[in-house]
Chain A
Amino acid sequence: MTTQILLSGFGGQGILFTGKFLAYKGLLADKNVSWLPSYGPEMRGGTASCSVIISDEEVGSPIISQPDVLIAMNLPSFEKFEPTVKAGGIIIADSSLIEAKSTRDDIDVYYIPATALASDMGKQSLANMIILGKLLKVMNDFNEDEIKTVLSKVIPPKKADMLDINLKAMQLGSEN
Chain B
Amino acid sequence: MAVVFDKPHALTDVPMHYCPGCTHGIVHRLVAEVIDELGIEGKTIGIAPVGCSVFAYNYFNCDMIEAAHGRAPAVATGVKRSDPENHVVFTYQGDGDLASIGMAETVHAAARNENITIIFINNAIYGMTGGQMAPTSLPGQVTQTSPYGRDTKHCGFPIKVCEMLSELEGPEYLERVTVSNVKNIRNAKKAIKKAFQNQLDGKGFSLVEVVSTCPTNWGMTPQNALKWLEDNMLPYYPLGVYKDRSAKEETK
- Report A-B touching, CB under 8 Å: no
Q: Which residues of B contact A (CB under 8 A)?
A: none
Q: Which residues of A contact B (CB under 8 A)?
A: none
